[in-house]
Amino acid sequence: MAIRLAVFVQEQQVPLEDERDALDDTARHFLASGDGQPVGTARLLMQPDGTARIGRVAVLAACRGRGVGAALMRHIEDLTTAPIIVLDAQTRALPFYQGLGYEPSGEVFLEAGIPHRHMRKVRRSI
């Protein structure tokens, strides 16, 4: 939770009451570390239709650009068998997610005052 507070609440000025939600209680949480210290986090929720939803992806500012976020996303993707993975990305992060094979859908919307787009990745059958 400390990484999310640093990134979302302190850096991006998201109100604390908007950052934590009821989904945290049922989500599977992931932590990325570097040099033995936590540097990134994300959560995974399985939706009733079998779609996987990744959310709250955050990497500490000092550790961005080192592949932490991409490694975290690939790890989560490797652990789920869901044929479709969705997420809501801040618009400034669209190139990052597109580089991982996610495609934007729908219009831009605001979440906690920050522009976002829905994104999805349809995985090929193995």
Alpha carbons 43 and 37: distance in angstroms, whole number = 18
Digitized pLDDT (tens) for each residue of the chain, 126 residues in all: 789 888 888 888 888 888 888 888 999 999 999 889 999 999 999 999 999 999 999 999 999 999 999 999 999 999 999 999 999 999 999 999 999 999 999 999 999 899 999 999 999 764
The CATH number that applies at residue 113 is 3.40.630.30
* Domain count of the fold of the chain: 1
Cβ atoms of residues 7 and 60 within 8 Å: yes
Structural domain of 33: 2-122
